[in-house]
Structure 1
Amino acid sequence: MNKVYVIAEAGVNHNGSLDMAKELVEVAAKAGADAVKFQTFRADRLVSGTAPKAEYQKISSGADESQYAMLKRLELGEEAHAELIRHCQVHGIQFLSTPFDAESVELLGTTLDLPTIKIPSGEITNAPLLLKIARLGKPVIMSTGMCTLADVEAALGVLAFGFTCPQADPGVTRFQEAYASAEGQQALREKVTLLHCTTEYPAPFAEVNLRAMDTLASAFGLAVGFSDHTEGIAIPVAAVARGAVIIEKHFTLDRALPGPDHKASLEPGDLCQMVQAIRQVEVALGSGRKVPAPSEVKNAAVARKSIVAASDIRAGEIFSSDNLCIKRPGGGVSPLRYWEVVGRPADRNYAKDEVVDL
């Protein structure tokens, strides 16, 4: 991919409001993102009533409320999804969402027929969910936060099986066989992009480990991107320079809003800056061939040097280190040929600072 695919992660930063979700769509489109991504779930299918909050969620949304109660407030129904898709179409941006349960996979992949499914880091060991997603036959973007290479390989085995064995009964051995098969590897290459990720909000810079992108690409031979949870925009921009083909980044209308993810998100102006910086970097990466750029060719004569007369030289006088020097401008005899000139007789008279001929 020559163009980095930028996903503006709205997530649950709509706070359960369809109007706020629509505003997030507009902000993402205005910033130049390729897609805006939400989260699709039903709290009673996602968490138990006693599931604890993460520490960052306790800080941002209070420790007294349960994770279930928090998520229940953040659900978006089927009609809201359909309305957001229509709103995305109006504003020229792709709608994406992450499913967290089988019914949500059905809604996104079949009912709403989204072209791509995003798998979050927390579901990477959820083999039944992965299998259901793979059997849609659609491209998949999979985050790998909290993972070892073995975790990623196991998940890819489920996906490979789902892509290539639509009717067969599942099982760990069959997942491994599908992953090892030529057909399974081909399906993974065609359909899966892996996102390196550090699952903390905000993620400490010292724990980002961007070099793990290289490891993922080398280990699995798949396209690799980066799902970023750090503060600011430096790390996603660096990931693009390192070869990320997808960047995913949380954003919000206002970091001061109540809710679990706002504080670790970009505000609209920062999102615009990130997209602009990514576009600049992807252009700046170039072809990799080391040749003069068209814009710098004209500067060679100004910046480089030639062999010139250090003093007046008469015709027949022998060129030497005493009567030659190296100065700008370029365009004359290159200083690389200095030793070819030294010891030869001057073919004509030269004034001081005149470029020497050969």
Structure 2
Amino acid sequence: MSVRIGRSVIGPGEPVYVIGEIGLNHNGSVDLAKELIDVAVEAGAQAVKFQKRTPEISTPEHMKDVPRETPWGTMTYLDYRRRVEFDRDQYIELADYAYLRGVDWFASPWDVPSVAFLEDIGVVAHKVASASVTDIELLWALRETGKPVILSTGMSTLDEIDAAVEVLGTDRLVMLHATSSYPMPTEEANISVIRTLQDRYRGVPIGYSGHERGLQISLAAVALGAVAVERHITLDRTMWGSDHAASLEPQGFDHLVRDIRIISEAMGDGVKRVFPGEEAPKAKLRRVNAS
């Protein structure tokens, strides 16, 4: 089964759907967010993704008053969350920019009011962050939008994923294998789970959301059949912020998309045949032909 999101179709036989995860790597700057959209476009990704929170709701109670050192000085964690959130006008500006640059955009809403906020702006899909897999109230709000939903599965058991799928349904669902370590050590990648998810959720397109350093694991995920790949992007991994270290810089993201396209073409259709390029070597080198 395939799922259409905006200008693209996600599923077997379709180009791998590459998402540039901007997340909070914009550090509250619309100009920086636009630069990151440019990075995704120039690499050949089909989508960019943000995160949308209502800080007073989505910030855990025990974290709200924790002091945080930021580029804007020391502030509470709640004030930091407020500082990096875009308002409606800023999101509309970014939505227009992404549209004109030819990429889909959507976000991970972390609470029910954020779903309504994104619906008002007109997103083409919604993303469920791994941390929200067990937020049944949020999942029902997403189900009721009728929009495609991309479900990340990090920090979750199969039973928890089953419960989420029970709410979301499978008609417009894309699922991403993920391990929510930042950055993710190689031994925690467990990308064979891609096949586990393919077998368990028949008909649901299965992809991969990576938080590792480097490209190899994401490329191996494509070779295992991942039909979508999401990676965090940044202008510079040394920038301030929690996700930059697990992100790809522009050249790395460009190479990732390039190599995904090469691997996808190389996978073929699984039918063994003699290709035209083999005919000349065959005529020259094969001494005994089949009878």
Q: What SS class does the counterpart of residue 145 from structure 2 fall into?
A: coil
Residue 115 of structure 1 corresponds to 124
Counterpart for residue 150 of structure 2: 141
SS of corresponding position for 1:216: helix
Q: Give the AA of the match of 1:7.
A: I
Deviation, structure 1 residue 244: 0.4
Letter in 1 for 2:118: L
Residues 48, 211 of structure 1: alpha-carbon distance in 2 compared, 3 angstrom cutoff? closer
> What letter matches 2:177 in structure 1?
H
Equivalent residue runs for 1:218-233 within 5 Å: 218-221=199-202, 222-233=204-215
Q: Which structure is richer in relative contact order (CA contacts within 8 A, separation 6 or more)?
A: 2
Aligned-pair distance for 1:296? Answer: 1.9
- Aligned mates of 1:9, 1:254 — CA distance in 2: 14
What is residue 85 of structure 1 aligned with on the other side? 95
Q: Which residue of 1 aligns with 2:115?
A: 105
Task: Note the alpha carbon deviations across 1:301-331, whole angstroms, 9 max, x for none.
Answer: 2332x2xxxxxxxxxxxxxxxxxxxxxxxxx
Give the match for residue 279 of structure 2. 297
User: d(CA) in 1 for partners of 2:255 and 2:28?
Assistant: 27
1:245–1:60 distance in 2 versus 1, CA, 3 Å: farther
Q: Is 2:230 aligned against 1:248?
A: yes
Q: 2:191 maps to what in 1?
A: 210
Cα 1:35/1:299, change in 2 over 3 Å: same
Displacement over 3 Å in runs of 4+: 58-61, 64-67
Instruction: Quote the residue 2:6 is aligned against.
Output: none
- 1:1-358 counterparts in 2 under 5 A? 1=11, 2-48=14-60, 50-51=62-63, 66-109=76-119, 111-160=120-169, 188=170, 190-221=171-202, 222-304=204-286, 306=287, 333-334=288-289
The CA distance in 2 between the partners of 1:269 and 1:256, in whole Å, is 15
Residue 356 of structure 1 is matched in structure 2 by none
The whole-number CA distance in structure 1 between the counterparts of 2:198 and 2:33 is: 34
The total of aligned residue pairs comes to 274
Question: What is the alpha-carbon distance in structure 2 between the residues aligned to residue 60 and residue 50 of structure 1?
Answer: 19
Encode CA deviations 1:127-154: one digit per residue, 9 max, x unaligned. Answer: 0000000001111110000111100001
Question: What's the secondary structure of 1:296's corresponding residue?
Answer: helix
Would you say the 8 A contact 1:11–1:250 is kept in 2?
yes
Is the 8 Å Cα contact of residues 69 and 75 (structure 2) preserved in structure 1?
Answer: no
Return the offset for 1:71: 2.1
CA distance in 2, matches of 1:102, 1:270: 35
What residue is the counterpart of 2:4 in the other structure? none
How far apart are 1:101 and its partner, in Å?
A: 1.2
Could you report, residue by residue, the CA deviation over 1:162-204 in whole angstroms, capped at 9, with x for unpaired residues? Answer: xxxxxxxxxxxxxxxxxxxxxxxxxx1x211111000010111
State the superposition RMSD in angstroms.
Answer: 2.0
Structure 2: give runs of 5+ residues left out of the alignment.
1-10
Q: Which runs of 5+ in 1 are unaligned?
A: 161-187, 307-332, 338-358
Identity among equivalent pairs (%): 38
- State the match for 2:5 in structure 1: none
Contact 1:49 1:66 in 2 (8 A): no
Per the TM alignment, residue 49 of structure 1 is displaced from its structure 2 partner at its CA by: 5.2
Q: CA deviation at 1:52?
A: 7.9
Q: TM-score, normalised by structure 2?
A: 0.89
